[in-house]
Amino acid sequence: MYNLTVESSYPTPYASSQFLSMILLSMIGQKHTPNTTTDIKDGYDYVVVGAGSAGSVIASRLAEKHCVTVLLLEAGKPPPKVTDIPGVARSFIGTDIDWNYTTVPQLYTGAGLLNRSVAWPSGKTIGGSSVINAMLNLRGNKKNYDDWAAHGATGWNYDGVLPYFKKLENNTDAEYVRNGYHGVNGPVTVSKPEYDTELKRAVFETAKSSGYRVGDVNGPKQKGFYDIQATVRKGQRCSAAKAYLVPKGHKNNLDIVSQAFVKKIIIENSKARAVEFDFQGKSRHVRAFKEVILSAGTINSAQLLMLSGIGPQEELKKHKIRLHANLPVGKNLQDHWGTVIGFELNSTFTPLQKKLESVANINDYITSKTGPLTSVQGVSVIAFLDRKGHDSPGDYPDHQLYFWEGAMAPIQSQMRLKPDVSFNPNDANFCSPTMVFSSGSEEEVYFKSYFGPYENKPFYLCLSQIVHPKGTGKVTLRSNNPYDPPNINPMYFSHPDDLEVVVEGLKKCKQFGSSQALKKIGSKMFATAFPGCEKFVSDDDKHFRCIARSMVITLSHQTGTVKMGNPRDPSTVLDPQLRVKTIKNLRVVDASVMPSVPSGNTNVPTMMVAEKAADLIKQGITCSS
């Protein structure tokens, strides 16, 4: 069952609603988190660190071998049941199931953000970020994986990974399955949200009339507009934990432990021997007879490796950590980030927040799992586009657009908008982290400058996101204390081409928002301006550059800090089997291993990596019966 006090403690629209109990009861048929244990043995064949999108998969698949024992350690607690409601996913950002990371001050953007730093949500719970993400089912581009293989990640070309994308998937929509690129027997349910909007219909009408392709972006071609599918099972979130761990919760050879904070890997004679972690107020050690597998995510896996003595020599020396392997851990950090502009809609539209609170819509969800509560955070349409035009040769789009029904509460509380500012983005000091901003009441003034007049009105956001950035960042240690968050520096817009890609996407946003089909539903770009950008509003290039330099958000697609590839390549940390170079019995299996970020959302590619890794490991396991 559920604890109503706990469920109501999260800031969903139903926290104090009389309908919360009914909503929870209506979802009880789908168990969302596995059974856990507090009885931890002294040793296991495999110790997996992190029960997120990758760790859930790898632990589950290894436990299919009855002759091995598996321990899965997760720093966070089991998630509340309300996380199963797709439409309220952003309600859990900034709570106790989020690591609540922020970046260091950004040099090339963030002028409108508190301390010029960007909020970096990351799931800290069983299921990890698959419990708080937007659930979008995206794989990336074929070229991404062929490039991985061409640069030394042997076996990770598109033909080598497609079977694993299909293996993990249970696609419920026949129109997608028939092209042969999808699976129907996997653990992860993929389906269209049971919610359509006039915004979606208007965008699709404009796209088709303009010659754009509308269809499956996970099939033969990526470029075009996507009729969204999500990792949703009958109107409820299908997290990695629900898909992989819940069905295996009864297995005697798999122990799942929550609220176990891993501090380091014990390495002796260049071999991973054990894991040290805090549990129930005590420091514990557990032996790994075969392997330690890090699945803690792009930030935490890099941090744990460095705390364990694996990383750049100069970084470890700075923090007085004994060196076991001098490897470029924490470098090659890549991400997808974007910038938004707002559009108002006809006053006859109901704002998303009110839709989510509507008694009729709540009743639809309770009785039939349909309506706005099944939306993926309000995202109506996604498009993968190319600056060269939709009719250009090739199929390697460089930006992604989101058409997103807006809700003010998460914008105000989660985007770190700062007090109103007085600056000229073209001044020499515009990019200086030491800029002085005028005083104000936290984010209130800046928020009200742009969003304020539309706070109680229906609107949508159009977000322009770069999909294969040229700039890279890094993760470094703040100290040798495992409880200190690391320094995260994504270096957004450090390569000038990345800014131009995002600006081009914002131009497309304006173009679509001004189309006849969208004008019919009242689409009109916000008349307000970002502080400091007012004098550029008549020049789209300057205006959109100014906005991008003022505010960015991460799409939480971080990858690359524990890069796999050719073992002889000095930029790699892992070989193509995901084994840490020069250290035995240690692998990393999560998004950090990706040599370059896929051109799309990364939750599904992360599960694919874990599916393939499981097969690589299981090849070396032979059970006698």
Averages of pLDDT over each 10 residues, the chain, 625 residues: 92 95 97 96 98 98 97 98 96 96 96 92 97 97 98 98 98 96 98 95 96 95 96 98 91 96 98 98 98 98 98 98 98 96 94 94 97 95 90 90 87 72 43 35 64 90 96 98 98 97 97 97 95 92 95 95 98 98 98 97 98 97 88
**On the CB side of 614, how many CA atoms lie within 13 Å of its CA?**
25
The two three-digit tokens of residue 417, written as one number: 């908008």
pLDDT of res. 436: 33
Q: Give dist(CA 201, CA 82) in Å, integer.
A: 29
pLDDT of res. 500: 96
Question: Are the C-beta atoms of 512 and 502 separated by less than 8 Å?
Answer: no
Provide the phi-psi class of 381: left if phi over 0, else alpha when psi is between -120 and 50, else beta: beta
**Sign of CA pseudo-dihedral 402, 406, 407, 413:** positive
- Catalytic-labelled residue, pool 32, 182, 399, 557: 557
Residue 336 annotated in active site: no
The two three-digit tokens of residue 412, written as one number: 């105000």
pLDDT of res. 432: 36
Query: Under 8 Å CB-to-CB from 180, ≥6 apart: which residues?
Result: none
Length of the chain in residues, anyone? 625
pLDDT of res. 445: 63
One-letter identity of residue 63: A
Comparing CA positions, the residue from 583, 565, 582 lying closest to residue 574 is 565
pLDDT of res. 413: 72
Q: Give dist(CA 219, CA 181) in Å, integer.
A: 6
Query: Under 8 Å CB-to-CB from 191, ≥6 apart: which residues?
Result: 171, 172, 173, 229, 230, 232, 233, 234
The two three-digit tokens of residue 175, written as one number: 């129109």
pLDDT of res. 419: 58
Provide the phi-psi class of 215: left if phi over 0, else alpha when psi is between -120 and 50, else beta: left
Q: Tell me the whole-structure pTM to 2 decimals.
A: 0.95
Question: Are the C-beta atoms of 586 and 292 separated by less than 8 Å?
Answer: yes
pLDDT of res. 408: 80
**The three-state (H, E, C) secondary structure of 549-581, written as one string:** HHCCEECCCCECCCCECCCCCCCCCECCCCEEC
As beta bridge partners, residue 379 has 376, 404
pLDDT of res. 422: 45
* CA angle at 421 for the pair 417 and 425, rounded to the nearest 5°: 100
pLDDT of res. 248: 81
623: burial class by Cβ within 10 Å (0-12, 13-18, 19+)?
exposed
pLDDT of res. 410: 76
